[in-house]
Amino acid sequence: MGMTLAALAVRHNCELRGDPDEVVDHVATLAAAGPRALAFLANPQYRSQLAGTRATAVVLASADAAGCPVACLVSANPYLSYAEMAHELHPPAPLRPGVAAGAWVAPDARVGAGSQIEPGAVLGAGVVLGERVHIGAGVVLGARCQVGDDSRLMARVAAYDGVRIGRRCLVHSGAVLGADGFGIARDSDGRWTKVPQLGGVVIGDDVEIGANTTIDRGAIEDTVIGDGVKLDNQIQIGHNVVIGAHTVMAACSGVAGSTHVGTRCIIGADVAVAGHITIADDTVIGGGARVARSIRQAGIYGGVVPADEVRRWRRNAVRFGQLDDMARRLQRLEQVARDTDGSEP
């Protein structure tokens, strides 16, 4: 789908420097772009590639415009403007409404107008789909699931009974929504008894859920994913977790049960968040961090022991285990000093 630079500039509130009648029809990187390509510069690490680009136009900040050899679309937020333009140049394939051969839809399921159900999909009793919903091949929706207008579930998504998905959501392949949370009780003989998981999963509007991500159903109340949340691939969300609106989480992170993550948080890759704690709104947690207690005040948090030469790492690990004893010895020495001369050491 081709668009003129003039149209893009008007639609996305950019200043155009160049021929307004030039047309772009796809996006590309600065280094790989050719004719009719739209590129962008948002990270200064790639500024050296700007001078040699063969793109038709580049989305960039005003500070970089003078060094651009081709037409440019100047934006206060180049990456956001590029993202919006890329959506227009590369729209999703249009839906083909109807139920494909090989799909099974329960007699009492309701399918909204314009929805597409691909082969191998299963819609259980009482399922309700909104309008223009895309159900990919092999998707399984348990009894009483609900999916809002314009949402897309890619191949082999599994939603257990009663899961509710909002409007304009995108759920990638392999995601599992509503599996049982890890609730078990131990008896006096050390044997484990499963605790029934009776809650559900409620997913707001405009949520994206990455491939092979798992969101457990609540033990009694629901697990809740707020509006606009973006979850990367291979994330684990435990039972009764609440993720506040517009929070984002990168790959391989996990949140244990009954934790409340605030709104607009940014959680890096491989972050482990303990259960039964609270994370304040607008908190940023760096990749690899281990969050063991509540964060009550917004800020940037992190901390992880970096990889090191193995012998030195082992020595330091031993010393780490000795810190408590060392601290006690230091306290005793300080007390002796105070008792001796009555002053602080």
Q: Which residues pair with 3 in a beta bridge?
A: 24
> Is residue 330 helix, strand or coil?
helix
Q: How many CA atoms lie within 13 A of 293 on its CB side?
A: 2
∠165-168-174 over CA atoms, to 5°?
60
d(CA 204, CA 244): 10
Residue 172 annotated in active site: no
- Of 134, 172, 239, 246, which residue is the catalytic one? 239
Beta strands of 212-339 (E only): which ranges? 214-216, 223-225, 230-231, 236-237, 242-243, 248-249, 254-255, 260-261, 266-267, 272-273, 278-279, 284-285, 290-291, 300-301
**Strands 71-74 and 15-17: what pairing?**
antiparallel
Which backbone phi and psi does 87 adopt, to 5 degrees? Answer: -60, -40
* Region at 93 (left for phi over 0; alpha for psi -120 to 50; beta for the rest): beta
> Is residue 295 helix, strand or coil?
strand
Active site residue ranges: 239
